[in-house]
Amino acid sequence: MIDEAGLPAHGLPAERVLAGIRALRSGDRPTHGGRLFAYVYDPAVPGLDELTAAAHAESAHVNGLDPTAFPSLLAMENALVGAAAQLLGGGPGTAAPDVVGSVTGGGTESLILAVKAARDAHPEITEPRIVMPVTAHAAFAKAGHYLRVAVDMVPVSAETLRPDPAAIAAAIRPETVLVVASAPGYAHGVIDPVTEIAAVAADAGVRCHVDACFGGWALPWLRRLGEPVPAFDFAVPGVTSISVDLHKYAYAPKGVSILLHRDPELRKPQYFVHADWPGYTMINPVIASTRSGGPIAAAYATLRHLGEEGYLRLAAVTRDAVRELADVVRATGGLRLVAEPESTVICFTATDPELDLFVLVDELAARGWHTQPQLAYAGLPRTVHLTVTASVAPVVAKFGGDLADAIAATRAAGPVKLPAELLTLARSLTPEGLTSDLVAGLAAGLGLGLGEAADAGSAEPVPDRMAVVNTMLEEVPAALQERLLMEFVGLLQRPTWSHD
């Protein structure tokens, strides 16, 4: 049994503590080696982990709450913002010479703040709204939920996976404070028609945010390599803000993102300031007040170490890996690309109804490859998403062989068939009627056995195979999916009690 107690009765030696962390980590997905196609970004650069860990340690206890107390952190943040702005068409001598920005803790925070700035710029609008394609990141829905901003979603073409700019224009109302475009959309790796979307937003007098969290640090380098990357940054008139994550293709450790605004006036509503209390005057450019300087210093060290030459080389390696993986998918019977790769994403679906993609994902996981299944949605098929990084390049051939084996095993297993009574029960449920006990019963009916492993002190309470879960989720409406997932994760996230 792994000792998971958070607070032992007596303090433990440092090496024992670290050994316990290593034991827990042994059950995690691999963050290096090119076998995890989501969540982490590995450049496979020798020595980079050691450098960023040291840089993180140098500033881990520095607090970003007050830049006047810690000017080192202010200098590093300004350098990161300047680098991102220059890469994305801003700065001296450009169409956006007055770009400003803030360092946030991740892409979701950047998107929430973009929505906040747009909302608070119009206090006269009592029921603000944002317009976005259905392929825009779910973090915008989260922003709408947190900030009480309504979200109007525009469908995309089943063939191009892009929205019609005319449909975006038609969705804009007097209450609209922000229009969203993606470069690219996470799910399929497709770049929205940013120029056209920004134009209709500008015509309506509405801000336009480009979510380049995923592609903002990859697309400019691919363009320099000669790839046909469409305009998406501050060179596009009407683009008022852009987000880009440094912990993605800038290859910095988690979690650092940048939110840029075309000029300082656009950024002002992003700030929170409060002086009406007896303590210090609070002024925050981002959501958090106290912020560790560790991630910022680690990102700063990453950019300084890799430089333009390093990023151009990594982009070339990644581009080649994307091309080779796309060829693997094209050569595999029963699969097809849902879109030709435009960035660093491979997304494929099945052309054979007997080839269950959810089972395929499990079979690939059993062979050490961790991909991301995506449920069917509004006429779009279920898909498998691969985020490709530079570390994938050396293992493409191995993936191709294992993919063939996994497909053979998937065909042999056949599609998931849920028990008829369980499916009938699931379809009869309502979000309001779900309880933790009911979801635990559903999980048991699917053979998941959640909860028992955690009580036994195991570090791996998460099921190894998720095909049955994904199949059931696909059979019920989105609102029920959300509630099922909430209860499902709630069964996993429970306190561990000390037995000392």
Residues 335-347: tens digit of each pLDDT: 999 999 999 999 9
Residue with tokens 């050396």: 394
Residue 434 lies in a domain: yes
- Flag whether 166 is in a domain: yes
Q: Please check whether residues 171 and 258 belong to one and the same domain.
A: yes
Q: Which residues of 341-376 are buried (b: 16+ CB within 10 A; e: fewer)?
A: bbbbbbbbbbeeeebbbbbbbbbbbeeebbbbbbbe
pLDDT score of 127: 98
Instruction: Answer whether residue 478 is part of any domain.
Output: yes
In terms of pLDDT, which residue wins out, 445 or 393?
A: 393
Residue 9: predicted pLDDT: 86
Give the distance, in angstroms, between the CA of residue 463 and the centroid of all CA atoms in the same chain.
Answer: 22
The whole-chain average pLDDT of the chain stands at: 93
Residue 410: pLDDT band with limits 50, 70, 90: very high
Let me know whether 220 and 366 are in one domain: no
Same domain, 220 and 360: no
The pLDDT confidence band at residue 143, using thresholds 50, 70 and 90, is very high
- Domain end among 372, 388, 413: 413
Is there a single domain that holds both residue 209 and residue 149? yes
For the cut 80, the answer to whether the pLDDT of residue 246 exceeds it is yes
CA distances from 271 to 195, 207, 236, 319 (A): 28, 17, 25, 38
Q: Which helix (H) or strand (E) holds 294?
A: helix 294-330
Secondary structure element (H or E) that encloses residue 243, with its range: strand 241-245
Is 7 a member of any domain? no
Cα 95 to Cα 90: distance, rounded to the nearest angstrom: 7
Which pTM does this prediction carry? Answer: 0.94
One domain for residues 87 and 157: yes
**Are 377 and 444 members of one domain?**
no
- Whether residues 204 and 108 fall in one domain: yes
Do residues 211 and 180 make contact, with C-beta atoms less than 8 angstroms apart? yes
| Res 231: pLDDT | 97
Write the CA distances from 200 to 165, 179, 197, 207, 263, integer angstroms.
Answer: 7, 9, 5, 10, 20
For residue 255, say if its preceding peptide bond is cis, omega within 30 degrees of 0: yes
Specify the CATH number for the domain of residue 365: 3.90.1150.10
Alpha-carbon span 197 to 211, nearest angstrom: 13
**Run of H or E residues at 397:** helix 396-413
| 227, 374: one domain | no
Residue 10 lies in a domain: no
Sheet arrangement for strand 257-261: 100-104, 257-261, 241-245, 207-211, 176-182, 129-133, 150-154
The helix-helix angle for 357-366 and 396-413 (nearest 10°) equals 130
Judgement on whether residues 249 and 357 belong to the same structural domain of the protein: no
pLDDT, tens digit, 9 for 90 and up, residues 213-239 = 999 999 999 999 999 999 999 999 999
Look at phi and psi of residue 379 and say left if phi exceeds 0, alpha if psi is from -120 to 50, else beta.
Answer: left
Indicate whether 45 pLDDT > 60: yes
Q: Which domain holds residue 319?
A: 307-413
User: Is the per-residue pLDDT at 453 higher than 80?
Assistant: no
Quick one: average pLDDT of 72-98? 97
> End of a domain among 356, 387, 413?
413
Task: Kindly tell me if the per-residue pLDDT of 53 is higher than 60.
Answer: yes
Q: Domain check: are 233 and 333 in the same one?
A: no
CATH no. for residue 76?
3.40.640.10
Same domain for 164 and 277, yes or no, is yes
User: Is a pLDDT exceeding 80 seen at residue 139?
Assistant: yes
The structural domain count of the chain equals 3
pLDDT at residue number 427? 79
pLDDT at 1: 43
Query: Would you say 105 and 255 are in contact if contact means Cβ atoms under 8 Å apart?
Result: yes
Q: Are residues 103 and 130 in the same domain?
A: yes
Rounded to an integer, what distance in angstroms lies between the CA atom of residue 179 and that of residue 238? 10
Residue that terminates a domain, selected from 381, 413, 445: 413
In a domain, residue 32? The reply is no
